[in-house]
Amino acid sequence: MERNLLVTGSTGKTGSQTTELLPERSHRVCAPVRRRDERAARLADRGAEIVEGDVHDIGYLAGATKGIEALCFIHPVPPTPSSCTATTTRSRRSALRPKRP
């Protein structure tokens, strides 16, 4: 079953392996990156959709998660995983909240 997934930390050690494997299993992967570099190019070559932006920005992340069925939150421990976790949670809630007229 194909799913639309977003993988944070997609250019890191764990995130890149996850991002490379999911398209092989027929999933569509959105990979947010800070900049388009050789790591992002490798992920694109493996089938990931590369989107440039900052996952610490709640507005950006809320937009990036629209249409996403699952979010794989992969973040290194330093410097502040709790603030990044909170931003990810708030942005996802924002993306799921119905728009008011």
Domain assignment present for 83: yes
Domain boundaries, position 77: 4-96
Question: Cα(12)–Cα(2) distance, rounded to whole angstroms?
Answer: 24
Residue 37 sits in a domain whose CATH number is 3.40.50.720
Q: What's the total number of domains in the chain?
A: 1
Domain assignment present for 101: no
Q: Give the pTM.
A: 0.71
Domain assignment present for 85: yes
Domain assignment present for 40: yes
pLDDT at 39 over 90: yes
Identify the residue with better confidence: 92 or 17. Answer: 17
Contacts of 84 (CB under 8 A, 6+ apart): 55, 56, 75
pLDDT at 50 over 90: yes
